[in-house]
Structure 1
């Protein structure tokens, strides 16, 4: 189901694990900062709402979405980090750069997750234009940051 058909900020809250003693890293791309800041605010708010402690949330900024994989790897190497949430926005634009970046980031984050046996969440928007990004960063389709944080919480419940 596409985010145009489902609000990104609405999810099933059954069987939520206790995350009060879990440590989260949120890696945020600085490129498209208007969008990524809104994603961060949503992720942070959702973590707190569902039991994470502010002192157990670390923010790491990277220049762009392409660098999310390296930022995630640096956080995954830390034993105390339980889950990593990666937030970015790659708008399609006039060239195919988005195809290459999005594929590389998705593959990179998957590799980090499997290598370190930790949830590494792909909270990267891949919209066609700025308005679609705004709509998914707290706009009419909710906030992908909320969804990414909730996904991290749910993944910590897998044994």
Structure 2
């Protein structure tokens, strides 16, 4: 469903289990920092609101969204980490660079989750412009960070 038709911060509370003893790794891209910091804040607040302990949430930064796959893998390698949330933003430009980066990141994050058999969540915005990114990072369409965090929570109960 297009985010223009759904608020990313709204979710069902179905299939939410106790996460008070779960550990989360959050990997945040430094590129488009205004957007990714808002995504991080949304993810953190959502995890805390659903019972995660602040001391069980670990954050690491990577330079850009392309590096989220390796950053996510390094988090997933830590046996004590139960779920990994990868947060980034790739804004479409004038070249095909956007297509290559988005495809590589989506594929890479998927492979990490399958390799380590734990939730590794794709919380990456792929908007056409800065305003669309801001609208999905706490703006009029909610926060993709919230959505990524609740996805991690629900997958832990799967």
Q: Mark yes or no: TM-score above 0.5.
A: yes
Distance in structure 2 (CA, Å) of the matches to 1:15 and 1:125: 25
Give secondary structure in 2 for the equivalent of 1:4: helix
- Structure 1 gaps of 5+ residues are none
- Tell whether 2:72 aligns with 1:75: no
Residue 21 (structure 2) aligns with? 21
Residue 52 (structure 2) aligns with? 52
Give a deviation string over 1:98-132, Cα, whole Å, max 9, x none: 11001000100111000000100000000000000
Residue 113 (structure 1) aligns with? 113
Q: CA deviation at 1:96?
A: 1.3
Residue 39 (structure 1) aligns with? 39
Distance in structure 2 (CA, Å) of the matches to 1:15 and 1:115: 24
- Tell whether 2:43 aligns with 1:4: no
Q: CA deviation at 1:154?
A: 0.2
Q: Name the Cα RMSD after superposition.
A: 0.5
Q: Following superposition, which runs of at least 4 residues in structure 1 exceed 6 angstroms of deviation?
A: none
Q: What TM-score results when the alignment is normalised by the length of structure 2?
A: 0.99
Q: What TM-score results when the alignment is normalised by the length of structure 1?
A: 0.99
- Structure 2 gaps of 5+ residues are none
Distance in structure 2 (CA, Å) of the matches to 1:106 and 1:17: 26
Distance in structure 2 (CA, Å) of the matches to 1:101 and 1:34: 19
Distance in structure 2 (CA, Å) of the matches to 1:42 and 1:31: 17
- Tell whether 2:103 aligns with 1:103: yes
State the aligned residue count: 158
Q: CA deviation at 1:94?
A: 1.1
